[in-house]
Amino acid sequence: MHNLHTTTERNRSQGSRDTGRPDDPKPDDPRSDDPRSDDTQSDDPMRRELMALHAERAELEQRLARAEQERLYLTDPSAAAAAQGEEAALLSELDRLMTRIRAAEYRSQPGARTW
């Protein structure tokens, strides 16, 4: 038997402001007054670059998942083979993108070497 009454549902029925996500700052949490808000961080070019790379990664992962599903479930052998080729190309592209993300994350750290 399953317990369908989750913590989130219980909190909503009791009027709690807890969203169930541990990283959300509560009104009395010191992190809620953090001077480094998203507005000031969005002005940082390195942060913008990193966010753009992660957005590109998310889009690429969606395309990769679709290609995988097509490869697995298409009944036409030529279409499945085309999906397999697309999947291989997308995996290669994802590998290059992840390398760029790791490099951008390293450059954003204090004291990072430039060579």
Q: Which pLDDT belongs to residue 105? A: 92
Q: Which pLDDT belongs to residue 9? A: 47
Q: Which pLDDT belongs to residue 113? A: 83
Q: Which pLDDT belongs to residue 25? A: 54
Predicted TM-score of the model (pTM): 0.60
Where do the DSSP E strands lie in 14-109?
none
C-alpha to C-alpha distance for 103 and 96, rounded to whole angstroms = 11
Q: What is the number of other CB atoms lying within 10 angstroms of the CB of residue 69?
A: 12
Across 30-43, b (16+ Cβ under 10 Å) vs e yields: eeeeeeeeeeeeee
Q: Give the chain's residues under pLDDT 70.
A: 1-42, 115
